Amino acid sequence: MYNLNLKKSIAGHKLLATVTITVVLALFQTACTATAAGSSTIVPAATSTSVAVPVQPDPDAAKPSNPGGVGPALALTGDAASGQTIFTTYCKVCHGDKGVGGVANPGSKDGTVPSLNPIDDTIAHKDLKVFAANIDLFVEHGSKPDGDKPQLSMVAWGDTKSMTPQQIADVIAYVISLNSGSK
């Protein structure tokens, strides 16, 4: 009788111990899962910053002869009013008043510097961010027109650091405004 009761009581303690360990393990696991869940909320935040990929130019748009991707100006907001002053100072000499063109370019296949008002219709785009990216490549990297010996070439304003990214953003906004922003 006595022995039997003792055995039962030992068995009872073992059971209690097992239950306790299981509960502790369960709590531990919950804590780990909570930590994992907590860190997993950080992951979407990190991926959402990589959504801000700079907009890319239209692959079918006219491209400058000089290589290179879009510049830092595209991450900024351009001010067309400031861009008008910049245009008059730096661009008008080759692209004409308000970009209407007509400036002779001896030695180039076209014979004149291209008009920016209206702009080449492959550069114009209904999505203004793509429109800006199409213009940006020319302003950043410059371009030599087709032809034996073009007298005038598009200046690499960005690559030569002749203009700041904000000035480039502003003049892009002005060129878009000349074209009413539509294709």
List interacting residues with ligand HEC (CB under 6 A). Answer: 62, 64-65, 90-91, 93-95, 105, 113-114, 116, 120, 123, 135, 138-139, 143, 145, 152-155, 157, 171, 175
State phi, psi for 104 to the nearest 5 degrees.
-65, 140
C-beta of 155: minimal distance to ligand HEC in Å? 5
- Three-state SS at 104: strand
- 8 A C-beta contact, residue 68 and residue 137: yes
Nearer to ligand HEC, 84 or 157 (CB): 157
Assigned token pair, 46: 């990190």
Q: How far is the CB of 86 from ligand HEC (least distance, A)?
A: 6
Closest to ligand HEC by CB, 9 vs 131, is: 131
Give whichever of 24 and 81 is closer to ligand HEC, judged by the CB atom. 81
Q: How far is the CB of 53 from ligand HEC (least distance, A)?
A: 23
Residue with tokens 């400058």: 64
The three-state secondary structure class of 143 is: strand
- Please check whether residue 101 is in contact with residue 115, taking contact to mean a CB–CB distance below 8 angstroms: yes
CB of 40 to ligand HEC, least distance (A): 45
Return the number of the residue (14 or 175) whose C-beta is nearest ligand HEC: 175
Local structure of 122: helix, strand or coil = coil
Determine the distance from the C-alpha atom of residue 27 to the mean position of all C-alpha atoms in its chain, rounded to a whole number: 45
